Amino acid sequence: MKNKKITGILTGTKRGLAMLVIVTVYGLSSCKKMDATYRDYVKGGEIVYVSKADSVKIYPGNNRMLLTWWKGTDPKVSLARVFGEDGQLLKEQQVGKGVIGQWQEVLLEDMPEGTYSLDVVTVDDNGNTSIKVTVPGISYGPRYEASLQTRRLEQAVYLNGNAYVNWRGPTPDAIATEIVYEDIDGREITVRTPAGENQTALEKFKSRTRFKYRTLFKPASTSIDTFYSEYVDVELEYLLDKAKFKRWNTADFPYTEYEMGSIYNIERLWDEVYTEYGYIYLETEPLPRSFTFDLGQLARIERIRLSPNWSSQLYKNGNIKKAEIWGSATPDVSADFSTWTYLGTLESFKPSGLPLGESTPADLAYAQAGENFQLVDDAPPIRYIRFVVQETWSGSISMHITELTFWGDVIEP
């Protein structure tokens, strides 16, 4: 009985060994077939990949783009190739062999304006390549430049040897505005003002010269190039210094100010406050009626701006509807006009033309900006002003003016 059991066990073992031999032979046979197939596929050797370009970025420019990528720890990479969407090789650039852990740059020039999809492949000395990395890019050019709008001026004035330029809001994509001017020493000066700033001071500006300016743009913060608008040529306006204005009158022109704590005196005409009442005089006699003051400088007046009370008396009550401006170079004047020089007439305009007490937003905006009046040409220089109020909007004989501003050529500061 024992012999039979041993025989049975041995018999089972032989069968297992036989099966193992069969499986092993089959496996070896299969591996040989797979290896043969792989070798047929690679035709001469295994495929070797090098490290791909990492963290690829493209920066836009003017008919060009800058491509950057990170060269990692693979020292074998010695070349980078950039392909276009059609598979065309755009740029091939050597990379320092053995260099690791550095940013690499590839400048793609002669790239017409448009959008791109680029493929980046790295290569080693044996011609082995990485898998491609695809990135989008954009190039700007003439179409973008044609869309650029130069920043608009609010005002450009000359005052006490310097020029001051006030700007309107910045235009899209603008980063700065550049001004070129000549100073009193004959030097050409260039000043750049960031897009977020609203005023530019031009020191030691040469009187009676012009300046030119252009606006600088970047279509994106990452742009490698700056774009420029065309230059604009500007002639300055010459602003009289209000700090020199002062009270002045003769016996023929007494002041009858509506004081109330001296807050409506004539000095309010040049305090640079443009809201509510400025100077007010009392109702003492019918219109026309004169008041006078001293500009503090001898000047040939070209323009005047009258700023009315727009915040509570828009086109009504004592706001001026019509007035005359007269001037004199000396304080030796009389009540009649024979000693005065006529400078011009101011006739206030209401854009809507609506009846008294009615107005529109356009009326308000116009009044807030102040009304500008060009004075007579070729008038002689004057220093003393005679302002003759002839008519107010409500027919009132009282009068109020918020501010007066003068432009002209200063002869004697």
- Tens-of-pLDDT digits for all 413 residues of the chain? 333 333 333 344 444 443 433 334 344 444 444 344 333 434 445 667 789 999 999 999 999 999 999 988 888 899 999 999 889 999 999 987 667 788 999 999 999 999 999 999 999 989 999 999 999 999 999 999 999 999 999 999 999 889 999 999 989 999 999 999 999 999 999 999 999 999 999 999 998 899 999 999 999 999 999 999 999 999 999 999 999 999 999 999 988 887 655 789 999 999 999 988 899 888 878 899 999 999 999 999 999 999 999 998 999 999 999 999 999 999 999 999 999 999 999 999 999 999 998 999 999 999 999 999 999 998 999 999 999 999 999 998 889 999 999 999 899 88
d(CA 361, CA 352) in angstroms, rounded, equals 9
d(CA 349, CA 114) in angstroms, rounded, equals 51
The tally of CA atoms less than 13 A away on the side-chain side of residue 129 is: 9
* 291 C-beta neighbours (distance < 10 Å), count: 21
Are the CB atoms for 125 and 136 separated by under 8 Å?
no
If you search the block for the tokens 């009304």, which residue do you land on?
Answer: 371
Length of the chain: 413
Strands (E), 148-288: 153-159, 162-167, 174-182, 188-194, 199-202, 210-217, 227-228, 232-235, 237-238, 246-247, 279-281
pTM: 0.69
pLDDT at position 50 is 87
Strands of 133-139's sheet in order across: 89-94, 77-83, 114-124, 133-139
User: Which of 304, 311, 275, 288 has the alpha carbon at shortest distance from 399?
Assistant: 288
